[in-house]
Amino acid sequence: MSTKIDTVSARDKLPARHAPYWHKIRAECHLGFRKTTTESVGAWIARYRDATGKYQLHSLGSLDHVIGAKRYDEAAKLAGDWFDHRGKGGAIEAITVEQACKRYVQKARDEGRENAAKDLEGRFRRWVYSDRKLSGTPLLKLTPGMLTDWRNKLVKTPAKLQDKTKEATKPRAASSTNREMAVLKAALNLALEDGHATSDAAWKTKLKLIKDATQRRDCYLDPAQRKALIANAPKDLAALITALLIPLRPGAGRADRFQFRQTAWCFDYWQGQSGPGPKNQLANVHRSILRRTSQGQTAYCPTDCPCGWSILE
């Protein structure tokens, strides 16, 4: 028998009892209202009968955040969403966004990807769990607007600095935003595959990656920065950096190389791009670097070296 529970006055007249009062929404689908005391605001329950004839219950809560006159409409909407979810083969258990993320982390662990799991945990903790409104939302209640708000908040958050004593002011790179959106979308898609949601409409477009976000970033040190780097580096590293920063000749940096053989430094041009070539005189600055790094040892080319000459003579 269907009981009238769609108005405040009708619900107020119902005697208090533990068993819910049921109101038929559609075939095999009922919305229930439980009133255990006369002072209670009551609680709402959805009931669905599956193909086997068994009843399945889904708690909707008290909905006391909604005014009394609209409480039935809200309960009917939530129940209808759950009925649709179950009718399409969705799981009985309703999970939140946070639970979906934790299930995705656990999947990575189950697959033996512990480092990936730790990385995911850190990302979800910073950008999803910290947003209590989003993380606590059941997937069936997730809306495109909620994800738009989350994405906008993420984009506006400055990039974190390694030096935590300084205030973060640098705008977040689009590639960084993409990484955070990608892992959340993957977690939600897994929940969809497992039947905890029946549609990806809430996140399919709102978590769409930014185009052309991953591009090569060129970064060069100006002369003052190079000098500061050398001045603050350990002695042996400073020598190496100095050698690397000073060009030997146009095109030499890629093809030619220094070889260290025992106590010998040899500038080998026989491995150059142009093939075997004549001996090349080192510039004074390079000879000076090699003298300093040889620490007083005699620098020479060994007898099997094709050049047959000492670069420090």
- In this structure, the answer to whether residues 35 and 55 fall within a common structural domain is yes
Whether the per-residue pLDDT at 197 is higher than 50: the answer is yes
Provide the domain limits for residue 168: 97-193
pLDDT at 253: 40
Q: How far is CA 129 from CA 16, 20, 101, 137, 190, in A?
A: 39, 34, 9, 11, 18
pLDDT at 21: 94
Beta bridge partners of 24: 30
Which of 159, 160, 131 has its CA nearest to residue 147? 131
pTM, entire model: 0.51
Burial state string for 227-243 with b = 16 or more CB within 10 A and e = fewer than 16:
eeeeeeeeeeeebeebe
pLDDT at 200: 85
- In this structure, the answer to whether residues 102 and 188 fall within a common structural domain is yes
pLDDT in tens, 139-155: 878 888 899 999 998 88
pLDDT in tens, 57-74: 888 888 888 899 999 998
Beta bridge partners of 47: 30, 57
Q: How far is the C-alpha of 62 from the C-alpha of 41, rounded, in Å?
A: 7
Q: How many structural domains does the chain have?
A: 3
* CATH code of residue 57: 3.30.160
Residue 218 belongs to some domain of the structure: no
Beta bridge partners of 61: 44
- In this structure, the answer to whether residues 144 and 171 fall within a common structural domain is yes
Whether the per-residue pLDDT at 85 is higher than 90: the answer is no
pLDDT in tens, 233-256: 888 888 777 777 665 444 444 334
- In this structure, the answer to whether residues 115 and 75 fall within a common structural domain is no
- In this structure, the answer to whether residues 69 and 139 fall within a common structural domain is no
CA neighbours closer than 13 Å in the CB half-sphere of residue 218: 2
DSSP one-letter string for 61-75: E--TTS-HHHHHHHH
Whether the per-residue pLDDT at 81 is higher than 50: the answer is yes
Structure tokens at 309: 């000459």
pLDDT at 1: 66
- In this structure, the answer to whether residues 135 and 165 fall within a common structural domain is yes
- In this structure, the answer to whether residues 66 and 115 fall within a common structural domain is no
Structure tokens at 247: 């060009």
